[in-house]
A = this chain, B = another copy of it.
Amino acid sequence: MPADDFVVTPWNVEGDIDYDKLIKRFGTQKITPELLSKIEKFTNESHFMLRRGIFFSHRDLNRLLDDYEKGKKFFLYTGRGPSGHTHIGHLVPWVFAKWLQDKFGAKMYFQLTDDEKFWSKKDMTLEKTSQFALENALDFIALGFKPENTKIIIDTKNIKTLYPIAAEVAKRINFSNTKAVFGFENETNVGMIFYTSLQSAPCFIEDMPVLIPFGVDQDPHFRITRDVAPKINKPKPALIHNIMIPPLGGTKGKMSGSNENETIYTTDSPETVKKKINKYAFSGGQPDIEEHRKKGGNPDIDVSYQYLRIFFEPDDKKLKQIHDDYKSGKMLTGELKEILIQKINKFLESHQQKREMARDQLDKFLLKD
């Protein structure tokens, strides 16, 4: 990787991502002001993640909305690779998906890919990924989904439903395709090589088009799905991509469970959150207070500010105030961190309660084959 470059694949995100460049590299469409207005026609309100470009790119969203206007319903699908506890980065597409579900009255499928995480991580067992799948499902349910219109798929548990669809997809993908799209090598295990057909399967589970909100690093999977769709007489999935949530240590790469100190889990205690933010959150501030008051901070590279922008401060006015105060030097890094700590801990207090309540509801959400 050249110093000024970045990598975005389903299994590796590195560097300082230039999202305009990524749109070109992946061949997706930028979400334009026109498209935002079009969405608002149906939703009657804008979502801060759309306004702020947290969801920044799409494929075929125009087509999907045009069809919707003509009365053609769609369903929603997103997912998670259960290799550990849920962190706040995972919640971004899920919260947005909930909003879409409410606004469009869409059925939702949530896929937990316990097989994929077992295959992609050397020391991971299938028992562990299956356990984490159930834990992650609690976080998803805690966001307010209802079992009437939301089904949770766990790959190894629901393989009976997924496999015949995945088989149709798998017949239309060859090793060259997976080499080109994922960079697979001769040493890649055959589970990984096959797996993308399983991630495609939920796209075709209902007899209507699908819209998938998800982190842009997963786009390669759905590029394959979209190539295969017409070959099995199905509509191409429409996609809407969110940016990567940066790790605490800086705005490069993405938050990832593989570095616990740079990750806020939904199961973290208030003390842990406080400690992690204070100790590890990369600051855009100046080395000392005097200089900070004079020169001001840089919110663009300040991770605490970015977390507020991406997730924890939906109010544009309040966010702008923080932005301006931090930039002018009026707000110190410690004060900014304190705002974020309060926000996260308030969110997590409520979330963790709902998460425990979700245990009793879990079975109602799990797809019955």
Binding site for B on A (CB under 8 A): 115, 118-119, 126, 156-157, 159-160, 163-164, 167-168, 170-179, 184-191, 193-194, 196-197, 369
| Distance in angstroms between the alpha carbons of A152 and B190 in the assembled complex | 26
CB neighbours of A163 from chain B (8 A): 115, 156, 159, 163
Q: Can you give 14 contacting A-B residue pairs, CB < 8 Å? A: A115-B167, A118-B171, A156-B164, A159-B163, A160-B160, A163-B163, A173-B189, A174-B186, A174-B189, A175-B175, A175-B184, A190-B196, A193-B194, A194-B194
Nearest-neighbour CB distance to chain B for A217, whole angstroms, equals 21
Q: Assess A170 versus B186: contact at CB under 8 Å? Given A160-B369, A194-B194.
A: no
Nearest-neighbour CB distance to chain B for A185, whole angstroms, equals 8
Nearest-neighbour CB distance to chain B for A179, whole angstroms, equals 7
Q: Which residue of B lies closest to A157 (CB)?
A: B160
Nearest-neighbour CB distance to chain B for A11, whole angstroms, equals 15
Check A191–B186 contact: CB distance below 8 A: no
CB neighbours of A118 from chain B (8 A): 167, 171
Q: Assess A190 versus B178: contact at CB under 8 Å? Given A159-B159, A170-B119, A171-B118.
A: yes
CB neighbours of A168 from chain B (8 A): 126
CB neighbours of A188 from chain B (8 A): 174-175
With A171-B191, A190-B193 known, 16 other A-B pairs at CB within 8 A are A115-B167, A119-B171, A126-B168, A156-B164, A159-B159, A159-B160, A160-B369, A167-B191, A170-B190, A170-B194, A174-B188, A175-B175, A175-B185, A175-B190, A175-B193, A176-B186
| Distance in angstroms between the alpha carbons of A317 and B179 in the assembled complex | 60
CB neighbours of A193 from chain B (8 A): 175, 190, 193-194
CB neighbours of A156 from chain B (8 A): 163-164, 167
Q: Which residue of B lies closest to A176 (CB)?
A: B186
Q: Assess A164 versus B196: contact at CB under 8 Å? Given A118-B171, A174-B189.
A: no
CB neighbours of A171 from chain B (8 A): 118-119, 189, 191
CB neighbours of A172 from chain B (8 A): 189
CB neighbours of A167 from chain B (8 A): 115, 118-119, 126, 156, 191
Q: Which residue of B lies closest to A155 (CB)?
A: B163
Q: Which residue of B lies closest to A119 (CB)?
A: B171
Nearest-neighbour CB distance to chain B for A49, whole angstroms, equals 34
| Distance in angstroms between the alpha carbons of A191 and B190 in the assembled complex | 9
CB neighbours of A175 from chain B (8 A): 175, 184-188, 190, 193
Check A126–B173 contact: CB distance below 8 A: no
Check B170–A189 contact: CB distance below 8 A: yes
| Distance in angstroms between the alpha carbons of A187 and B171 in the assembled complex | 11
| Distance in angstroms between the alpha carbons of A154 and B369 in the assembled complex | 16
CB neighbours of A119 from chain B (8 A): 167, 170-171
Q: Which residue of B lies closest to A170 (CB)?
A: B191
